[in-house]
Amino acid sequence: MDNESQSNFQWPPLESDPEIFNNYFKKIGLENNVEFQELWSLEYKEVQIIDSQVIGVIAAINRQKGKIYDKENTNVINYEEVPFFMKQEGSLDNACGLVAALHCFGNNQQHISIINNSILDKFFSRSKDQTPAERCKSLENDVQFKQAHLSSSNEGQSNIPSEQEQVNHHYIAFAVVNNAVVEFDGTLPGPVVIKQYSTELQNESLLDDVIEDLQIRLKEEFITDNLSVMIVVKN
């Protein structure tokens, strides 16, 4: 990355590639019991066997301009109702892949292990009692984290965008919290309940519920069909 790109994007976008995400987060403290995998298709059951527990879903979407998905207006809940929610603003404006992953980890603390005193561990320890805006600022000011991010954003086959107009996709995350499938997007006012269950929800339902929701967004043209999906699995 040249100096101009670095100045434009202090936290550049990440390519939607499970290998890049795995290398990145293992490097900063994620243990090997959790990994990112590509979802080959929304009709994955016809072409792909997933034999690990899905604890999170990350979708790289392209929203249709001027259209707002109904649930993202009506189903917003207070951030204090979930274990972890952070804002994405300021210099983190294009770090949605990172923020989506942090939302998956922060809302699955019972499933993941993080190396003690690692970059990831220090961030979650420091931000435990912070507000969403404070967590955003805390990440912005984390020099070690920023250096690791810049290194990982240089990986991959795609050219790194250097101008805002070149950024088309936005990452959003989904996880199970309090018997509900919840969407996490730091650009929204708070977490969004996608589907609420009256009985205990198992993580096995998460992927199918997210796919159903994405298909609705596609059908109603809230997002384009130019999307990719990764799953976060516990081995």
- pLDDT tens digit string along 46-84? 888 898 999 999 999 999 888 899 999 999 999 999 999
Q: Read off the tokens for 55.
A: 């604890």
Side-chain-side CA neighbours of residue 18 (13 Å): 15
Instruction: Calculate the average pLDDT of the chain.
Output: 89
Count of domains observed in the chain? 1
Burial class (CB in 10 A: 0-12, 13-18, 19+), 14: buried
Domain holding 14, by residue range, is 3-234
Cα–Cα distance between 130 and 107 in angstroms, integer? 15
User: pTM for this structure?
Assistant: 0.90
Quote the pLDDT of residue 165.
Answer: 44
Q: Residue 193: pLDDT above 80?
A: yes
Residue with tokens 């109603």: 220
Rounded-to-integer distance, Cα 89 and Cα 69, Å: 20
35, containing H or E segment:
strand 34-39
The residue type found at 223 is: I
Residue 223: CATH number of its domain: 3.40.532.10
Give the span between the Cα atoms of 102 and 84, in whole angstroms. 9
Mean pLDDT, residues 117-131: 97
pLDDT at residue 112 in the model: 94
Sheet bearing 192-196, strands edge to edge? 34-39, 228-234, 53-61, 170-177, 180-184, 192-196
- Residue that wins the pLDDT comparison between 57 and 151: 57
How far is it, in rounded angstroms, from Cα 215 to Cα 208?
11
